[in-house]
C-alpha cells in the first residue's frame, strides 16, 4: 500500500465540505470523477432537522416580539389609567418576554454554531499549485504526483 484514498463529506451541489477519512490503498481515488462520499442522505436529514428547529425557534421569537410590542403599545395607551400595581405587573410580563426572547435567541445562535462546527466551511476555496500548503505538497510528493496534478485532483 503506497497511496492514500480519501472519503469526503459532500454538501449541496456535490461540493466537498470536509474530509471524513483516509485509507491506505494500492490505487488512490484522488483524480477520479466519482469521489467517495459519506452518506448524503444522513447529512441531508440532519440538516433538515436542525433547520426545522431553527425555523421553529425563529417563529417563537417573532411571536414573542409581536406580543412584546403589543403589550408596550397597550401600556402606552393605558398608562394614564393604570395604577401602580398594574404597571408593575406589565413590567414583570415584559421582562419575562424579554428573557424568553434572549433565551430563544441564544438557542438559535447555539444551533447555528453547531451547524457551522459540524459542517465546517460553507464553501471551499479553490486551490492552485502555488497555494498548496506544506502538508499538501508532502502528500503530492508521497503519491508521486506533481503539485499541479495534485491541485487538479483536489479542486
**What is Dmax (Cα atoms) for the chain?**
85
Size (the chain), residues: 155
3-state secondary structure 75-136: HHHCCCCCCHHHHHHHHHHHHHHHHHHHHHHHHHHHHHHHHHHHHCCCCCCCCCHHHCCHHH
Query: Taking the domains of the chain in order of start, what are their residue ranges?
Result: 1-38, 41-119
Read off the pLDDT of residues 35-76 as tens digits, 9 standing for 90 and up. Answer: 555 555 666 777 888 888 888 898 888 888 888 888 877 776
More confident residue, 31 or 113: 113
For range 17-29, the mean pLDDT: 80
φ, ψ of residue 6 to 5 degrees: the values are: -85, 160
Type and span of the H or E element at 72 = helix 40-77
Is pLDDT above 50 for 123? no
**In this predicted model, what pLDDT tens digit does every residue of 72-122 receive, in sequence order?**
777 766 666 656 667 778 888 888 888 888 888 888 888 877 776 666 554
pTM: 0.31
Name which of 119, 2, 120, 104 is nearest 54 in CA terms. Answer: 104
Instruction: Read off the DSSP letter of residue 144.
Output: T
Amino acid at each position: 500500500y503506497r497511496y492514500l484514498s480519501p472519503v469526503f463529506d459532500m454538501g449541496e451541489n456535490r461540493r466537498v465540505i470536509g474530509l471524513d477519512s483516509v485509507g491506505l490503498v494500492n490505487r488512490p481515488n484522488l483524480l477520479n470523477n466519482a469521489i467517495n462520499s459519506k452518506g448524503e442522505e444522513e447529512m441531508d436529514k440532519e440538516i433538515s432537522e436542525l433547520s426545522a428547529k431553527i425555523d421553529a425557534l425563529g417563529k417563537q421569537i417573532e411571536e414573542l416580539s409581536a406580543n412584546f410590542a403589543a403589550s408596550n403599545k397597550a401600556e402606552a395607551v393605558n398608562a394614564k389609567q393604570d395604577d401602580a400595581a398594574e404597571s408593575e405587573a406589565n413590567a414583570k410580563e415584559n421582562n419575562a418576554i424579554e428573557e424568553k426572547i434572549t433565551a430563544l435567541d441564544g438557542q438559535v445562535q447555539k444551533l447555528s454554531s453547531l451547524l457551522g462546527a459540524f459542517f465546517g466551511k460553507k464553501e471551499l476555496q479553490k486551490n492552485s499549485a502555488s497555494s498548496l500548503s506544506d502538508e499538501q505538497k508532502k502528500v503530492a510528493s508521497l503519491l508521486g504526483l506533481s503539485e499541479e496534478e495534485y491541485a487538479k485532483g483536489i479542486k
